[in-house]
Structure 1
Amino acid sequence: MKFADFHPGQVIHGGRYRVTPAESVAFAAAYDPQWFHMDAQVAQGGSFGGLIASGWHTCAIAMRLVVEAALQGSESFASPGLKYVRWPHPVRPGDELRLEAHVIAVRRSETRKELGIMEWRWQLFNQGGRQVLDLEATSLFKLAVTSPMERHCST
Protein backbone atom coordinates (compact mmCIF):
# COMPACT_ATOMS: atom_id res chain seq x y z
CA MET A 1 0.00 0.00 0.00
CA LYS A 2 1.09 3.56 -0.59
CA PHE A 3 0.97 6.28 2.07
CA ALA A 4 -2.01 7.87 0.28
CA ASP A 5 -3.98 4.61 0.74
CA PHE A 6 -3.98 4.82 4.54
CA HIS A 7 -6.67 6.71 6.47
CA PRO A 8 -7.73 7.05 10.13
CA GLY A 9 -10.16 4.36 11.21
CA GLN A 10 -8.92 1.89 8.60
CA VAL A 11 -8.47 -1.71 9.75
CA ILE A 12 -5.97 -3.89 7.92
CA HIS A 13 -6.18 -7.65 8.32
CA GLY A 14 -3.01 -9.65 7.85
CA GLY A 15 -2.45 -13.24 6.91
CA ARG A 16 -1.90 -16.08 9.32
CA TYR A 17 1.41 -17.27 10.71
CA ARG A 18 2.02 -20.57 12.51
CA VAL A 19 4.74 -20.51 15.17
CA THR A 20 6.66 -23.78 15.04
CA PRO A 21 8.30 -25.20 18.16
CA ALA A 22 11.70 -25.29 16.42
CA GLU A 23 11.45 -21.66 15.33
CA SER A 24 10.32 -20.52 18.78
CA VAL A 25 13.24 -22.23 20.54
CA ALA A 26 15.76 -21.12 17.88
CA PHE A 27 14.68 -17.48 18.23
CA ALA A 28 14.95 -17.70 22.01
CA ALA A 29 18.37 -19.36 21.83
CA ALA A 30 19.64 -16.53 19.62
CA TYR A 31 17.95 -13.51 21.21
CA ASP A 32 16.09 -14.26 24.47
CA PRO A 33 17.68 -17.34 26.06
CA GLN A 34 15.46 -17.68 29.10
CA TRP A 35 14.49 -21.14 30.35
CA PHE A 36 10.72 -20.70 29.81
CA HIS A 37 11.40 -20.08 26.09
CA MET A 38 13.93 -22.89 25.59
CA ASP A 39 13.62 -25.82 27.99
CA ALA A 40 10.30 -27.64 27.56
CA GLN A 41 10.85 -29.93 30.53
CA VAL A 42 11.67 -27.17 32.99
CA ALA A 43 8.99 -24.89 31.50
CA GLN A 44 6.32 -27.51 32.35
CA GLY A 45 6.80 -26.60 36.02
CA GLY A 46 6.82 -22.85 35.37
CA SER A 47 4.08 -20.25 35.63
CA PHE A 48 2.85 -20.88 32.09
CA GLY A 49 2.78 -24.69 32.25
CA GLY A 50 4.98 -25.11 29.19
CA LEU A 51 7.11 -23.32 26.65
CA ILE A 52 6.13 -19.85 25.52
CA ALA A 53 7.57 -17.82 22.67
CA SER A 54 9.62 -14.73 23.40
CA GLY A 55 7.62 -11.53 23.27
CA TRP A 56 10.32 -10.18 20.95
CA HIS A 57 9.69 -13.10 18.62
CA THR A 58 6.00 -12.19 18.69
CA CYS A 59 6.92 -8.60 17.71
CA ALA A 60 9.09 -9.90 14.86
CA ILE A 61 6.18 -12.01 13.57
CA ALA A 62 3.92 -8.95 13.74
CA MET A 63 6.46 -6.96 11.72
CA ARG A 64 6.49 -9.63 9.03
CA LEU A 65 2.68 -9.71 8.86
CA VAL A 66 2.50 -5.89 8.72
CA VAL A 67 5.00 -5.79 5.85
CA GLU A 68 3.10 -8.47 3.95
CA ALA A 69 -0.31 -6.84 4.55
CA ALA A 70 0.52 -3.16 4.18
CA LEU A 71 4.11 -1.96 3.91
CA GLN A 72 5.52 -4.00 1.04
CA GLY A 73 5.91 -1.67 -1.95
CA SER A 74 5.13 1.40 0.14
CA GLU A 75 7.28 4.46 0.79
CA SER A 76 7.88 3.29 4.40
CA PHE A 77 11.51 3.65 5.42
CA ALA A 78 11.76 3.80 9.22
CA SER A 79 10.07 4.08 12.59
CA PRO A 80 11.04 6.35 15.46
CA GLY A 81 9.62 3.82 17.90
CA LEU A 82 6.65 2.48 19.78
CA LYS A 83 4.31 4.23 22.17
CA TYR A 84 3.78 0.98 24.07
CA VAL A 85 4.06 -2.79 23.68
CA ARG A 86 2.07 -5.38 25.65
CA TRP A 87 1.82 -9.15 25.60
CA PRO A 88 -1.58 -9.87 27.22
CA HIS A 89 -1.33 -13.65 26.72
CA PRO A 90 1.63 -15.84 25.84
CA VAL A 91 2.28 -17.29 22.40
CA ARG A 92 2.85 -21.01 22.51
CA PRO A 93 4.68 -23.09 19.93
CA GLY A 94 2.06 -24.33 17.47
CA ASP A 95 -0.13 -21.21 17.76
CA GLU A 96 -1.46 -19.68 14.56
CA LEU A 97 -1.41 -15.88 14.72
CA ARG A 98 -3.35 -13.31 12.72
CA LEU A 99 -2.90 -9.55 12.49
CA GLU A 100 -5.27 -6.62 12.88
CA ALA A 101 -3.74 -3.18 12.32
CA HIS A 102 -5.80 -0.09 13.13
CA VAL A 103 -4.75 3.22 11.55
CA ILE A 104 -5.01 5.97 14.16
CA ALA A 105 -3.59 9.03 12.39
CA VAL A 106 -2.01 9.88 9.03
CA ARG A 107 -0.37 13.21 8.24
CA ARG A 108 2.43 14.99 6.45
CA SER A 109 5.10 16.58 8.58
CA GLU A 110 4.63 20.33 8.84
CA THR A 111 8.39 20.94 8.82
CA ARG A 112 9.53 18.23 6.40
CA LYS A 113 7.02 18.04 3.54
CA GLU A 114 8.68 14.91 2.14
CA LEU A 115 7.85 13.02 5.35
CA GLY A 116 4.61 11.13 5.90
CA ILE A 117 3.79 10.01 9.45
CA MET A 118 1.36 7.28 10.41
CA GLU A 119 0.39 6.16 13.89
CA TRP A 120 -1.20 2.75 14.11
CA ARG A 121 -2.04 -0.03 16.52
CA TRP A 122 -0.98 -3.58 15.78
CA GLN A 123 -2.70 -6.51 17.45
CA LEU A 124 -2.01 -10.22 17.08
CA PHE A 125 -4.56 -12.85 18.01
CA ASN A 126 -4.09 -16.60 18.30
CA GLN A 127 -6.31 -19.28 16.80
CA GLY A 128 -8.64 -19.08 19.82
CA GLY A 129 -9.11 -15.31 19.43
CA ARG A 130 -6.93 -14.43 22.44
CA GLN A 131 -4.89 -11.28 22.02
CA VAL A 132 -1.17 -12.03 22.30
CA LEU A 133 0.29 -8.69 21.20
CA ASP A 134 -0.83 -5.07 21.42
CA LEU A 135 1.43 -2.21 20.38
CA GLU A 136 1.20 1.29 18.98
CA ALA A 137 3.80 2.18 16.36
CA THR A 138 4.74 5.22 14.33
CA SER A 139 5.84 4.64 10.75
CA LEU A 140 7.65 7.14 8.54
CA PHE A 141 7.20 7.40 4.78
CA LYS A 142 9.43 9.18 2.25
CA LEU A 143 7.08 11.10 -0.03
CA ALA A 144 7.50 13.06 -3.22
CA VAL A 145 7.48 16.79 -2.75
CA THR A 146 5.66 18.87 -5.30
CA SER A 147 7.20 22.12 -6.46
CA PRO A 148 5.60 25.46 -5.47
CA MET A 149 4.36 25.84 -9.08
CA GLU A 150 2.67 22.39 -9.02
CA ARG A 151 1.04 23.16 -5.66
CA HIS A 152 -0.21 26.52 -7.00
CA CYS A 153 -1.60 25.01 -10.21
CA SER A 154 -3.43 22.19 -8.46
CA THR A 155 -5.42 24.47 -6.14
Structure 2
Amino acid sequence: MPIYFEDLTVGETTEFGKYEVTQEEIVEFAERYDPQFFHVDPEKAEETMYGGLIASGWHTASMTMRMLVDGFLSDAASLGAKGVDELRWYRPVRPGDVLTLRNEVLEKEVESDERGLAHVQTTTLNQSGEAVFSMVGVVMFGRE
Protein backbone atom coordinates (compact mmCIF):
# COMPACT_ATOMS: atom_id res chain seq x y z
CA MET A 1 0.00 0.00 0.00
CA PRO A 2 1.44 3.39 -0.93
CA ILE A 3 1.88 6.14 1.62
CA TYR A 4 -0.54 8.96 0.81
CA PHE A 5 -0.63 12.54 2.05
CA GLU A 6 -3.23 11.57 4.67
CA ASP A 7 -0.84 8.93 6.09
CA LEU A 8 1.77 11.53 7.01
CA THR A 9 1.68 12.90 10.55
CA VAL A 10 3.32 16.18 11.55
CA GLY A 11 6.10 15.37 14.02
CA GLU A 12 6.49 11.80 12.78
CA THR A 13 10.15 10.80 12.61
CA THR A 14 11.55 7.71 10.90
CA GLU A 15 15.08 6.42 10.47
CA PHE A 16 16.19 4.21 7.60
CA GLY A 17 18.80 3.53 4.97
CA LYS A 18 22.36 2.38 4.92
CA TYR A 19 24.91 3.66 2.44
CA GLU A 20 28.57 2.68 2.57
CA VAL A 21 30.78 5.36 1.03
CA THR A 22 33.82 4.27 -0.97
CA GLN A 23 36.85 6.22 -2.11
CA GLU A 24 36.28 5.02 -5.66
CA GLU A 25 32.75 6.45 -5.71
CA ILE A 26 33.86 9.76 -4.20
CA VAL A 27 36.53 10.20 -6.87
CA GLU A 28 34.30 9.01 -9.72
CA PHE A 29 31.49 11.42 -8.80
CA ALA A 30 33.87 14.33 -8.28
CA GLU A 31 35.81 13.76 -11.49
CA ARG A 32 32.54 14.06 -13.37
CA TYR A 33 30.73 16.81 -11.42
CA ASP A 34 32.95 18.57 -8.86
CA PRO A 35 36.64 18.04 -9.69
CA GLN A 36 38.16 20.01 -6.84
CA PHE A 37 41.42 18.46 -5.66
CA PHE A 38 40.17 17.57 -2.15
CA HIS A 39 37.53 15.36 -3.83
CA VAL A 40 39.76 13.71 -6.45
CA ASP A 41 43.37 13.63 -5.20
CA PRO A 42 43.90 11.73 -1.91
CA GLU A 43 47.53 12.90 -1.55
CA LYS A 44 46.77 16.61 -2.02
CA ALA A 45 43.67 16.25 0.16
CA GLU A 46 45.91 15.11 3.04
CA GLU A 47 47.45 18.61 3.07
CA THR A 48 44.12 20.44 3.42
CA MET A 49 42.11 21.44 6.47
CA TYR A 50 40.09 18.24 5.85
CA GLY A 51 43.12 16.00 6.38
CA GLY A 52 42.07 13.65 3.60
CA LEU A 53 39.73 12.95 0.74
CA ILE A 54 36.12 14.06 1.21
CA ALA A 55 32.96 13.64 -0.83
CA SER A 56 31.54 16.56 -2.73
CA GLY A 57 28.56 18.05 -0.94
CA TRP A 58 26.55 17.37 -4.10
CA HIS A 59 27.60 13.73 -3.89
CA THR A 60 26.36 13.66 -0.29
CA ALA A 61 23.05 15.12 -1.49
CA SER A 62 22.89 12.45 -4.20
CA MET A 63 23.58 9.61 -1.76
CA THR A 64 20.88 11.07 0.48
CA MET A 65 18.42 11.13 -2.40
CA ARG A 66 19.20 7.48 -3.22
CA MET A 67 18.41 6.41 0.35
CA LEU A 68 15.32 8.64 0.39
CA VAL A 69 13.92 6.98 -2.73
CA ASP A 70 14.82 3.45 -1.61
CA GLY A 71 13.58 3.83 1.96
CA PHE A 72 10.60 6.12 1.65
CA LEU A 73 9.58 7.68 -1.66
CA SER A 74 9.34 4.43 -3.62
CA ASP A 75 6.57 3.36 -1.20
CA ALA A 76 4.81 6.73 -1.28
CA ALA A 77 2.39 8.43 -3.61
CA SER A 78 5.13 10.98 -4.25
CA LEU A 79 4.50 13.42 -7.08
CA GLY A 80 7.90 15.08 -6.96
CA ALA A 81 9.05 18.14 -5.09
CA LYS A 82 8.55 21.86 -5.48
CA GLY A 83 11.97 22.57 -4.05
CA VAL A 84 14.38 22.18 -1.19
CA ASP A 85 14.86 24.64 1.65
CA GLU A 86 17.59 24.94 4.28
CA LEU A 87 20.20 22.83 2.46
CA ARG A 88 23.17 22.39 4.83
CA TRP A 89 26.45 20.47 4.99
CA TYR A 90 27.74 20.03 8.55
CA ARG A 91 30.66 17.62 8.36
CA PRO A 92 32.72 16.09 5.58
CA VAL A 93 31.78 12.65 4.33
CA ARG A 94 34.80 10.38 4.00
CA PRO A 95 35.63 7.02 2.48
CA GLY A 96 34.43 4.29 4.83
CA ASP A 97 31.58 6.33 6.30
CA VAL A 98 28.24 4.56 6.62
CA LEU A 99 25.31 6.93 6.16
CA THR A 100 21.70 6.65 7.33
CA LEU A 101 18.72 8.99 7.21
CA ARG A 102 16.31 10.54 9.67
CA ASN A 103 13.10 12.00 8.22
CA GLU A 104 10.72 14.28 10.12
CA VAL A 105 7.44 15.64 8.79
CA LEU A 106 7.47 19.32 9.77
CA GLU A 107 4.20 20.54 8.27
CA LYS A 108 1.45 19.64 5.82
CA GLU A 109 -1.04 21.55 3.71
CA VAL A 110 -3.73 20.50 1.28
CA GLU A 111 -3.14 21.95 -2.18
CA SER A 112 -6.04 20.40 -4.08
CA ASP A 113 -8.37 17.41 -4.08
CA GLU A 114 -5.59 15.43 -5.76
CA ARG A 115 -2.51 16.38 -3.74
CA GLY A 116 -1.03 17.76 -0.58
CA LEU A 117 2.29 19.37 0.23
CA ALA A 118 4.55 18.21 3.04
CA HIS A 119 7.68 19.87 4.36
CA VAL A 120 9.96 17.01 5.34
CA GLN A 121 13.32 17.49 7.03
CA THR A 122 15.83 14.88 5.97
CA THR A 123 19.03 14.59 7.98
CA THR A 124 21.90 12.39 6.85
CA LEU A 125 23.89 10.86 9.71
CA ASN A 126 27.28 9.15 9.72
CA GLN A 127 28.10 5.96 11.60
CA SER A 128 28.72 7.99 14.78
CA GLY A 129 25.24 9.50 14.63
CA GLU A 130 26.60 12.92 13.64
CA ALA A 131 24.64 15.00 11.14
CA VAL A 132 26.59 15.47 7.92
CA PHE A 133 23.82 16.96 5.76
CA SER A 134 20.23 18.15 5.99
CA MET A 135 17.53 19.64 3.84
CA VAL A 136 13.83 20.38 4.02
CA GLY A 137 12.07 18.90 1.01
CA VAL A 138 8.86 20.55 -0.14
CA VAL A 139 7.24 17.36 -1.41
CA MET A 140 3.94 16.79 -3.19
CA PHE A 141 2.00 13.65 -2.22
CA GLY A 142 -1.09 12.20 -3.84
CA ARG A 143 -4.26 12.11 -1.75
CA GLU A 144 -6.48 9.08 -1.25
Q: Residues 71-82 of structure 1 correspond to what in structure 2 (within 5 A)? A: 71-82=73-84
Query: Does residue 1:23 correspond to 2:18, yes or no?
Result: no
* C-alpha displacement of 1:82: 1.0
Task: Tell me how many residue pairs correspond in the alignment.
Answer: 142
What is the aligned counterpart of 2:71 among 69, 72, 83?
69
How is 1:98-109 mapped onto 2 (pairs within 5 angstroms)? 98-109=100-111
User: So what's the TM-score if we normalise by structure 2?
Assistant: 0.92
More contact order relative to length (CA 8 Å, sep ≥ 6): 2
Alpha-carbon RMSD: 1.3
CA–CA separation in structure 1 for the residues paired with 2:24 and 2:114? 43
State the match for 1:40 in structure 2: 42
Task: Give structure 1 stretches of 5+ with no counterpart.
Answer: 145-155
Cα distance in 2 for partners of 1:44, 1:59 equals 23
Q: How does 1:53-132 map to 2 (within 5 A)?
A: 53-109=55-111, 112-132=112-132
SS at match of 2:120: strand
In the other structure, the counterpart of 1:2 is 3
Q: TM-score, length-normalised on structure 1?
A: 0.86
Counterpart amino acid of 2:46? Q
Letter in 1 for 2:124: L
Q: Give me the whole-angstrom Cα distance separating, in 1, the residues matched to 2:77 and 2:17.
A: 21
Q: Which has the larger radius of gyration?
A: 1
Q: Percent identity?
A: 37
**Unmatched segments (≥5 aa) in structure 2:** none
Superposed CA offset, 1:50-107 (max 9, x none) = 0000111111111111112211132212111111111111000110011001111122
